[in-house]
Structure 1
Amino acid sequence: MQLTKPSLSFWQIFNMNVGFLGIQYSFGLQQTAINPIFLYLGAPEDMLPILNIAGPVTGLVVQPIIGAMSDKTWSPRWGRRKPYFLIGALIGSICLFMFPSSPVLWFAVGLLWILDVGNNMAMEPYRAFVGDKLPEKQFSLGYQMQSLFVGAGILLANGSIVLFQYLFGDETIEVAGSIPTWLYYSFYIGGILSITTILWSVLRTPEIPPTDEELEEINRAKDKPLGTRIAKPFTEIKEAIQKMPTFLWKLGAVYLFQWYALFVYWQYITPLFMNTLGYSTSEAASQSAQMSLTYNIVTMVVALGLVPLTLRFGGKKVYAISLVGTAIALFTIPFIEDSLLVLAPMVLFGVGWAAMMGIPYTMVSKVVPQERRGVYMGILNMMIVIPMGIETLTFGPIYKYLLGGNAVNAMLFAGIFFVIAAVLAMRLNVGRDKTDIDL
């Protein structure tokens, strides 16, 4: 029997999402600081995609499995989703403290794998946690609040990079093959935020206990042999994919182009500024951090403002228009040669990022069954990391042989993929049966 969930206040929803600040601070460092670190440690530009394969692989493996496991977990003391994002946040914190001390490239790449495991372990149970707590009428507010904290976390990460480079960049001598010490401080802050913000949400937001039927199913699963219990998450994933709503397949097509393009942007924005503005690696890393800082400020400002827009015009239209705006931003950036004016396209990028981080999750929460929300959120993440994995395997040769090793061409390539994603997003009208709702 489905429980009727009470509406939560604005501040209850706020407190529930605070943990996303720490998780997204970590992702912000991955977007902006990890690739410059790889370059500091001697990685060639065409190797950047394959060095980032940790994110797609761990996301593909960890998130759906953890999501399925959390669906079948319940502890009166620790809850259903909380144990997973607590452990994930702790792993992430340890890696962030260690990362800037990486002595060689292979060590940094290995740490990225472990960091991604921790972040992915925290991510999808957290997405499901919000859906568990809210009635359907508050899904849009809940997930756009997450979008706000996505912007806030990445904003703080990139703001710290810009600040520390400004304060201490001239005081440190950059040595080839080593990471400048001013970059250390941002990672240390991330290590603290990763665990403390999760604890804030855990301590202030109780989970809703499972229904009698759900609890009976969870207890039955505990009584099964160990081998059966180990295989259960994989069986859950297989069954969920077989019964997946049509809407999710259509969204997967959008994500194929959207996330491929985003990965290209994050990997090549620093080399772009080394090309167009003639910057050193440090200067280009600082400029790319300013870009991220700008678009995440915009994301914070507009995230909750998208709620009434999606209610009035529909999530599909707002989502598609935001993707077009992101494409325009990427088409523009390579041709602006002023370090301040180049921040302007980030307004469009920020609106797009706010939509990407909120609207699809609102849609998906409406079409998937409550008792399988964790596994479907994990499958949704598979739709994110599969394009990223394809990008890491394919874009290096594309960049080197088809795009002439030119970061300008890489950015234009990403813009074209955003246009394709927008066209596909306009197909997100679906049927009106039990699982396919016109969103």
Structure 2
Amino acid sequence: MVKLKKPQLNFWQIWNMNVGFLGIQYSFGLQQSAINPIFLFLGAKEETLPILNIAGPVTGLIIQPIIGAISDKTWSPKWGRRKPFFLIGAIMGSICLFAFPLSPALWFAVGLLWILDVGNNMAMEPYRAFVGDKLPDNQLSLGYQMQSLFVGAGILLANASIFLFQDWFGGGEEVSGQIPKWLYYSFFIGSFLSITTILWSVLKTPEIPPPDEELKEIERNRSLPFLEKVKKPFAEISEAVKDMPKFMWKLSAVYLFQWYALFVYWQFITPLFRSTLGYDTSEAAAQAAKMSTTYNIVTAVVALILVPLTMRFGGKKIYAISLLGTGLALLAIPNITDPVYVLFPMVLFGIGWAAMMGIPYSMVSKIVPQERRGVYMGILNMMIVIPMGIQTLTFGPIFKNLLGGNAVNAMYFAGIFFVIACILALRLNVQKEESVSDL
């Protein structure tokens, strides 16, 4: 298929296109730092945290590739191709965030997490493809690192709100089975941001109409019988996996260790501080939020700085070094017992998070065909959620039986996995038939 020529966008056009990521990532920030404390407040045991978080991997595995495949075959002159999907996802997320702190029991909170993850994944996947649709190859690095900036800013706001509201409105003893009132405000703000930031991008950024050849394919798809339409996305996913570039298969090995380790960190950073700093759950949750706030400040600051670095030294080298730094940060955290000094490793973590949220998407977007960008971004997300699913199913027994139920050992485990991911990232050489500049 003939490559679509796309106009160059200015800085503020790329900025407006990515504003919606602020709301999506605020929601993910709450999932990283506030959901597991809520589960603990409602009576969950530490060893059950992995399995209680299985909603994310399962919904991501199912929702993102399907939505990607469907959006590839969608076009409306009024609504566009990707925007209807991430707008619907934002509405679902907004409703769930408002309801989450009102959860009367653990089962209710777990159920809401499933619905919230469906909404977030419905918004996330077409948003990744949306950026690739709009930008020419020479602006993809800037586009995806701009997303990293908003990833950092959204999670930063979420986590800053947690420890600030805990400081302003907290206090008093924890009551078993009850969610502290100070947590409510963070979720209510997230509910507002989820829909308003997406609306900003929807209203400010027009989509590029597909070329005539694609429009004819979309029309043929619309004329299919209902059952054929249902089968079509699954056939698209299967065919795309069969034709997937070798580069993506190598990236999947990196992602296996990277995302397994990240899920361990997010689940066990609060229990870690109950052990190393002697905090109760509220204090530990607030300290975990400070950790996340710190690394997301770094992410927001360095995200755009990585653009010229990747152009000069190559995405592979910057990505691998960033993964190594993240691993060293996780190995250091359990050995620091001062609540201020323990924030320092988050500088390395923040650089790594900026690289993880931008560089792989830029690299993949340049080597996949335009007409399949949505489904391949969904498959890329499958490479994220499969390791997370494996983690939720396996790490509970590992934590209890091999790591002695010790959150310190869990953090060491995650650090070692990041070092392995770094080594595997050094294999990310693009084949000649897939090569493009600045990979």
Q: What's the TM-score, normalizing by structure 2?
A: 0.99
The structural deviation recorded for 1:271 is: 0.1
Residue of structure 1 equivalent to 2:199: 199
Q: What is the Cα deviation at residue 3 of structure 1?
A: 2.2
Q: Secondary structure at the match of 2:43?
A: coil
Q: Does 1:367 align with 2:375?
A: no
- Separation (CA, whole Å) in 1 of partners of 2:416 and 2:285: 24
Name the structure 1 match of 2:85.
84
Give the whole-Å Cα distance in 1 for the aligned partners of 2:415 and 2:436.
Answer: 30
1:403 corresponds to: 403
- Residues 107 and 355 (structure 1), Cα distance of their counterparts in 2 relative to 1, 3 Å cut: same
Q: Kindly tell me: are residues 434 and 306 of structure 1, through their superposed partners in 2, closer, same or farther at Cα, counting changes over 3 Å?
A: closer
Q: How far apart, CA to CA, are the structure 2 residues paired with 1:2 and 1:214? A: 11
Match of 1:177 in 2: 177
Partner of 1:6: 7
Shift of 1:430: 2.4
Q: How is 1:208-287 mapped onto 2 (pairs within 5 angstroms)? A: 208-287=208-287
Task: After TM superposition, give the deviation of residue 175 of structure 1 in Å.
Answer: 1.2
Q: Secondary structure at the match of 2:433?
A: coil
Task: Report if the CA contact (8 A) 2:60-2:121 is conserved.
Answer: yes
1:19-418 equivalences under 5 Å are 19-170=20-171, 173-418=173-418
Q: Structure 1 residues 225, 437: CA separation in 2 closer, same or farther (over 3 Å shift)?
A: farther
- What whole-Å deviation, never above 9, does each CA across 1:372-398 have from its counterpart, x for those lacking one? 000000000000000000000000000
What is the DSSP-based 3-state SS (H/G/I as helix, E as strand, rest coil) of the residue aligned with 1:433?
A: helix
Matching residue's letter, 1:325: G
Separation in 1, partners of 2:12, 2:436: 32
Determine the C-alpha separation between the residues in 2 that align with 1:103 and 1:286: 22
Does the 8 Å contact 1:246/1:436 carry over to 2?
no
Deviation at 1:399, TM superposition (A): 0.1
Amino acid aligned to 1:337: T
Deviation, structure 1 residue 296: 0.1
Q: CA deviation at 1:174?
A: 2.6
Kindly state the Cα deviation for residue 173 of structure 1 after the two structures are TM-superposed.
4.9
Equivalent residue letter for 1:52: N
- Decide whether the 8 Å contact of 2:311 with 2:438 is kept in 1: no
Is residue 68–residue 375 contact of structure 2 (8 Å, CA) maintained in 1?
yes
CA contact under 8 A between 1:71 and 1:80: conserved in structure 2? yes
SS of the residue 2:432 aligns to: coil
1:438, distance to aligned residue in structure 2 (A) = 7.7
Question: For the residues of structure 2 that align with 1:174 and 1:46, how far apart are their CA atoms?
Answer: 21
Query: What percentage of residue pairs aligned between the two structures are identical?
Result: 77
- Supply the distance in 1 between the matched residues of 2:242 and 2:150 (Cα, whole angstroms): 33
Which amino acid is 1:274 matched to? R
State how far apart, in whole Å, the 1-side matches of 2:434 and 2:129 are: 20
Asked if structure 2 preserves the Cα contact closer than 8 Å seen for 1:273 and 1:287, the reply is yes
Alpha-carbon separation, structure 2, partners of 1:62 and 1:434: 28
Contact 1:245 1:435 in 2 (8 A): no
Q: Distance in 2 between matches of 1:109 and 1:51?
A: 7
Q: Matches of 2:283 and 2:76 in 1, distance apart?
A: 49
The offset of 1:2, in angstroms, is 2.6
Letter in 2 for 1:250: K
Do the aligned partners of 2:310 and 2:438 also contact (CA within 8 Å) in 1? no
Q: Distance between the aligned counterparts of 2:97 and 2:48, measured in 1?
A: 23
Q: Contact 1:330 / 1:415 at 8 angstroms: preserved in 2?
A: yes
Is the 8 Å Cα contact of residues 17 and 201 (structure 1) preserved in structure 2?
yes
Q: What is the root-mean-square deviation of aligned Cα atoms in Å?
A: 0.9
Shift of 1:436: 8.0
Q: Is the 8 A contact 2:18 2:201 kept in 1?
A: yes
Letter paired with 1:306: L
Do the aligned partners of 1:247 and 1:436 also contact (CA within 8 Å) in 2?
Answer: no
Once residues 311 and 438 of structure 1 are traced to their aligned partners in structure 2, the CA distance between those partners, rounded to angstroms, is 5
Structure 1 regions of 5+ residues with no counterpart?
none
The answer on whether the counterparts of 1:429 and 1:438 sit within 8 Å (CA) in structure 2 is: no
| CA deviation after TM superposition for structure 1 residue 431, in Å | 1.4
The CA deviation at 1:162 is 1.0
Instruction: Describe the superposition over 1:169-215 as per-residue Cα deviations: whole angstroms up to 9, x where unpaired.
Output: 12x55311110000000000000000000000000000000111101
In structure 2, C-alpha distance between the alignment counterparts of 1:306 and 1:224, rounded to whole Å: 45
Output one character per residue of 1:10-38: Cα deviation in whole Å (capped at 9) or x when no partner: 00000000000000000000000000000
Name structure 2 gaps, 5 residues minimum: none
- Determine if contact 1:431/1:437 at 8 Å carries over to the other structure: no
Distance 1:162 1:67 in 2: 36
Q: How many residues align?
A: 438
- Structure 2 distance, partners of 1:282, 1:336, is 20
